[in-house]
A and B are shown apart, each in its own frame.
Chain A
């Protein structure tokens, strides 16, 4: 049974570019949350998708957007990249209203 998978593993972009990160949830899970983890800090909640809708959003600008597909997989898009967007981006999946979240390995984004 595959856990949460994310792609790509690493990504290098330059300022101003756009990036798309992908996540496949654990089998049986229908909810996907995205987090940003800067070096030396805990994860920061970006948003959560459920039933293909953004259910809740953290304190991130509109440059951060997402999508959830009918098969529950999800994408995180970041436009107009800034140096400060360099971080580990984590995807977590869960079921419906369950609080326990299962995490993927993350995508390390470096913005030069």
Chain B
């Protein structure tokens, strides 16, 4: 069955710390990969996406993610977090010609000032 696993449900970091949020997926075939973010009181918004090409993708607000096909992973990274990065982060995947997004359970990130 198709699934997405996010390794940590809660992460607490201090400002300026480096961030890596894990995402592994189980999906046969070509995949499209996404990270969405939900800031407190706001909608889900797209942080970055991978469809094809360079496996290292850059998104908004200094975030990047690396697609490692052999590991079925798409981890999210940021070298130095800010208090404003406090939010919930979701990894999602779909396949070509498959319109439904399969989502992870989300990671709540809290940045201590």
Residues of A within 8 A of B (CB): 3-4, 31, 33, 35, 40-45, 48, 55-56, 58, 90, 99-106
Contact = CB atoms under 8 A, between A and B. Distances in A.
Given A99-B51, A100-B46, A100-B49, A42 B100 contact: no
Query: How many residues of B sit at the interface, in one of the four size bands?
Result: 20 to 34
Interface in B1-43: 4, 32, 34, 36, 43
A48 B104 CA distance: 19
Contact of B98 (A4, A33, A56, A105): A56
Given A40-B105, A41-B106, A42-B4, A103 B100 contact: no
What does DSSP make chain A's interface, helix, strand, loop or mixed? loop
A43 B101 contact: yes
B34 to A, nearest CB: 8
Contacts of A103: 36, 43-45
A37 B1 CA distance: 19
Nearest to A105: B43
25 contacts: A3-B43, A4-B43, A31-B99, A33-B100, A40-B105, A41-B106, A42-B4, A42-B92, A42-B106, A43-B90, A43-B101, A45-B101, A55-B99, A56-B99, A58-B100, A99-B51, A99-B94, A100-B34, A102-B46, A103-B36, A103-B43, A103-B44, A103-B45, A105-B43, A106-B43
